[in-house]
Amino acid sequence: MADIVRKHVVSVEGPTVRERLQAMDDSAVVTEFLGGEERAFSELVTRYQTRLLNFVYRTIGDREKAEDLVQEVFIRVYRHLHRFDRSKKFSTWVYTIASNLAKNELRNRSRNPLVLFQTVQKNFQDEDRPLQFEDTTARPDDMYRKRHLREIVEETVAKLPEHHRNVFVLRELEGKSYEEIAEITDCNLGTVKSRLNRARNSFAEIIAPYVD
């Protein structure tokens, strides 16, 4: 009987805690985790996994590697969360970790000429691209056009210099403020604006012939 009651209590308590965590802001969830609530970490993972994956993927262009790096981000968060300065934004901290890991990955790749950004991305797009994003109700020529356009956009982003691409993705995809980008990329505000301006101009220049 006691077991049944305990099970019932647990099953009732589980969703309640999860709901409570979902309603909290990042800072409160971090406090919960540091207070011993392990489920708070799962909440952080749920909140950030897709956003970080897209950020890292757009930066390095390799989906599998992006997943590995995002996992590494969460491992580092788990290990070092007690050192996190809670007067700052959690999202900025987590993006800083992701940005540094992506930068290291690109640096390692540049040392190894066999693995290039474009090669990895092209292979991924040709062979492993998930098709769930395709609109199956559309006409085949529309689908082809959409896919073609997406490839061009992704290739264009990949052509941007690394430090421009990083700022560009953080601003256009993640919607980060200039100040946050400056903190994440460890640059001053002027540099961020300048890089963003150049990245936008370069991107528009490259893609313009395909769009017009």
Partner 1 sequence: MDCREFCEQHVAYVDDTLAGIELVRMQRHIAECESCAKHDAKIRRSLLLFRNLPLIEPSADFSQRLEARIRECQGEHLLANTQRNLRYGAVAATLASAVMLGYIGTTLYHRTDPPRDLIMAPVVATIPEPELAPITTSTPAIVASVSAGLSIWPAALFAEQAPVRFAHSKLQLTDYTR
| Residues 115-144 interacting with partner 1 (rule: CB under 8 A) | 130, 133
* Mutual angle of helices 90-111 and 178-185, in 10-degree steps: 50
- Interface with partner 1, residue 153, by CB under 8 A: yes
Give min distance, CB of 113 to partner 1, in A: 27
173 sits near partner 1 (criterion: CB under 8 A): yes
| Token pair for 8 | 């019932």
Are 94 and 48 spatial neighbours (Cβ–Cβ below 8 Å)?
yes
Find, among 59, 101, 57, 56, the residue nearest to 77 by Cα: 101
Nearest residue (CB) to partner 1, 35 versus 175: 175
User: In terms of CB distance, is 157 or 184 closer to partner 1?
Assistant: 157
Q: Quick one: which segment of 5-13, 70-78, 101-109, 179-187 binds partner 1 (CB under 8 A)?
A: 70-78
Q: Tell how far CA 34 is from the center of its chain.
A: 24
> Structure tokens of 146?
């959409």
Among the residue ranges 72-80, 81-89, 90-98, 109-117, the one whose residues contact partner 1 (CB under 8 A): 72-80
- Which amino acid, one-letter code, is at 20? R
Residue 150 in contact with partner 1, rule: CB under 8 A: yes
45 binds partner 1 per the rule CB under 8 A: yes
Sign of torsion over alpha carbons 151, 154, 160, 162: negative
Rg of the Cα atoms in the chain: 21
Closest separation between CB of residue 70 and partner 1, Å? 7
Residue 208 C-beta: closest distance to partner 1, Å? 6
Q: Quote the CA–CA distance of 193 and 184 in Å, as a whole number.
A: 14
d(CA 61, CA 119): 9
Residues at the contact surface with partner 1, assessed by CB under 8 A: 41, 45, 49-50, 53-54, 57-58, 63, 67, 70-71, 74-75, 78-79, 130, 133, 149-150, 153-154, 157, 171-173, 178, 193, 196-197, 200-201, 203-204, 207-208, 211
